[in-house]
Amino acid sequence: MLKTEDIVKGFKTPEARWARFGPYYAMFPLDFAFNVVEKYSKKGDFIIDPFAGRCSSIYAGGVLGRQSLGIEINPVGWLYGSVKLSPANKELVIKRLKDIYSKRNYYKRAGELMPVFYKMCYCDEVLKFLLAARKHLDWRNDNVDATLMSILLVYLHGKLGEGLSNQMRMTKAMGIKYSVNWWEKHNMIKPPRINPLELVLKKIEWRYEKGTPNIQESHVIFGDSTIELDQIVKKAQKAGIKFSLLFTSPPYCSVTDYHADQWLRLWLLGGPQSPKSLKEQYKSRFVSTEDYYNLLDAVFGNCADMMAEKSTIYVRTDAREYTLNSTFEILMKHFPKHTVNIESRPFKNKTQTEICGNKTENPGEVDIILIQR
């Protein structure tokens, strides 16, 4: 039988190999996701995560025999999640990779016209290949294209020598000006020469080496929970389905919008060439306290309509005052009969936001656990 320990520690099984698929800002530690699912649900239960991110909660649920449903508004998180729950056939992915690679030379001129950031980040061969992938991969509608695209997203930026880019962070893309200045200061304005076909082929071989994961029926929806949940509630009620575990981590108020951090990956998915315009598009919900409150209120309110009477609500959130107090208040409003347990998770090491220059005090995270037995 598959043991949680084998998945969270090694890479020996297909489930372990796909579990870490997709670097994502503020992702759950894998052992935490598996432990919560094991402790607070049993086989055959239904689990929901309305802020799924890269979908570790849903993946852990699916691997451990729970039917799990996630919703994620950011296409990067959604792609990682939907692909790891159901990766396409390896041979078809390789065929598509070769097909995209063969189109790269049509993008020579387009590559030359790209802003200097891109030319410092990627060598010509990689940039032409990425432009072809950006143009031709139908990642929204086709699982082979989604699988290839999500593999490209994983290796789009990271430590020098590990992916397609010049030296970069892996979970979060830094800004254009910052990156260019950094490469200049460190004498790294020339990107590494990489053959993208060879590199991506190697990554595909490694990922599929043990096969694909065996998952209990589980899905992640690409969309906004405040909209999607209306339909989900109706369908669940019609089918007589009740969820036993709500396991999530909502966005933290005023900390990040999850789109700016992923701006380069969003560019590959067809988004703008610079992070600025994304910020304007998505910022409001996580900066205005009123919008933030309304978001959590709507989502947890809808979820409450689908939870079994005896259920667990497990929410990991920011320990900073506004996020914590409003999350707590909203959960108490929608789950008044549950008993509450609060566990503090102060950060032992520097957080990613601190490392990236955010000097504001960060007391860590808090787990709010509501149980009704």
Ligand X SMILES: C[S@@+](CC[C@H](N)C(=O)[O-])C[C@H]1O[C@@H](n2cnc3c(N)ncnc32)[C@H](O)[C@@H]1O
Q: Residues in contact with ligand X, total (CB under 6 A)?
A: 21
Q: Which of residues 257-276 bind ligand X (CB under 6 A)?
A: 258
For the bound state, the minimum distance from the C-beta of residue 157 to ligand X, rounded and expressed in Å, comes to 18
- Binding string, 9-48, against ligand X, x = CB under 6 A? ---------------x-xxx--------------------
- The smaller minimum CB distance to ligand X, of residues 196 and 271, is found at 271
The pair of structure tokens assigned to 14 is 């297909």
Q: Which of residues 70-109 bind ligand X (CB under 6 A)?
A: 71-74, 77
Q: Does 130 bind ligand X (CB under 6 A)?
A: no
Place of tokens 């405040």: 226
Q: Does 54 bind ligand X (CB under 6 A)?
A: yes
- The smaller minimum CB distance to ligand X, of residues 54 and 96, is found at 54
Q: What is the H or E stretch that residue 119 is in?
A: helix 116-121
- The smaller minimum CB distance to ligand X, of residues 183 and 252, is found at 252
Q: Does 246 bind ligand X (CB under 6 A)?
A: no
Is residue 199 within 8 Å of residue 128, measured between CB atoms? no
For the bound state, the minimum distance from the C-beta of residue 122 to ligand X, rounded and expressed in Å, comes to 26
Q: Taking the C-alpha atoms of 208, 214, 216 and 220 in order, what is their torsion angle to the nearest 10 degrees? A: 0
**What is the residue type of 273?**
Q
Dihedral sign, CA of 227, 231, 233, 236? negative
Q: Does 56 bind ligand X (CB under 6 A)?
A: yes
Rounded (5°) CA angle 261-97-269:
25
Question: Using CB atoms within 10 A of its CB, is residue 318 exposed (0-12), middle (13-18) or buried (19+)?
Answer: buried
Is residue 189 within 8 Å of residue 120, measured between CB atoms? yes
CA atoms within 13 A on the CB side of 296: 27
Q: Does 251 bind ligand X (CB under 6 A)?
A: yes
Q: Applying CB under 6 A, which residues contact ligand X?
A: 24, 26-28, 51, 53-54, 56, 71-74, 77, 224-226, 249-251, 258, 295
